[in-house]
Structure 1
Amino acid sequence: MKSYPMGASPSAGNALASVTETMVDVLLPLFLGPAGGDPQLAAAMVRDRIEGYGPRSVPDLLRIGRIIGLRMSAVDHLRLSMESDGDVRQCWDLAASLSREADQILRSRDEAPLAR
């Protein structure tokens, strides 16, 4: 028998699963490069990152998606700065800004009551 977090129902579990799959679809392009262009590996990487945060509700999962997206975007800007002959400082500044935003969301996730 599948167990759900206290106060959650099977429909809440279905909602989490549905939103997780949507989140995988949205974040997939950010993981294709690191996955060597393999969409199945990229999807597995996204699911692994999501599961690593332990989503507790749909709103929490949405926060997790933003955190992952911001972190991967920050890494991509650092990669671009290595390939660029242009303004490396701007890429680094943007990467730092994205990382700070992810940190802020992560802190708010830890401080916020669980929404169900």
Structure 2
Amino acid sequence: MVTLFDLIVSGFVALVVLPLAVSSLVAGSPPPPPNMFLAKYYLAEPRLMLASNLFLLAVCATAIQRLATHFGVLSEPVSRSLDIWISVPFVVLLLAFLGLFIKAILTVRRANRAA
């Protein structure tokens, strides 16, 4: 059962986050502004922005699948089989993002210790 909160969050992800992630990917996953809190980590690991954008696309696919199932565009059996096809890339991209983020944290810490 999908609650109103789930609908609001899934709608926000599908309508706001999806266009932002796609536009960032089309722009070539540019680095964040230098005054941003996490900018030093994204600059330390160049592939971190790409991994985070792809992970956001997997999150958006999950939100769209939930909305399509709730509004009857997808039937339950199709939704369950689609859920498997979305969950595997979701987990792989989550692990890739976490691995790259840990690598970036270690790189920044080493650079701070050396300075």
State the TM-score, normalizing by the size of structure 1: 0.45
State the TM-score, normalizing by the size of structure 2: 0.45
Structure with bigger gyration radius:
2
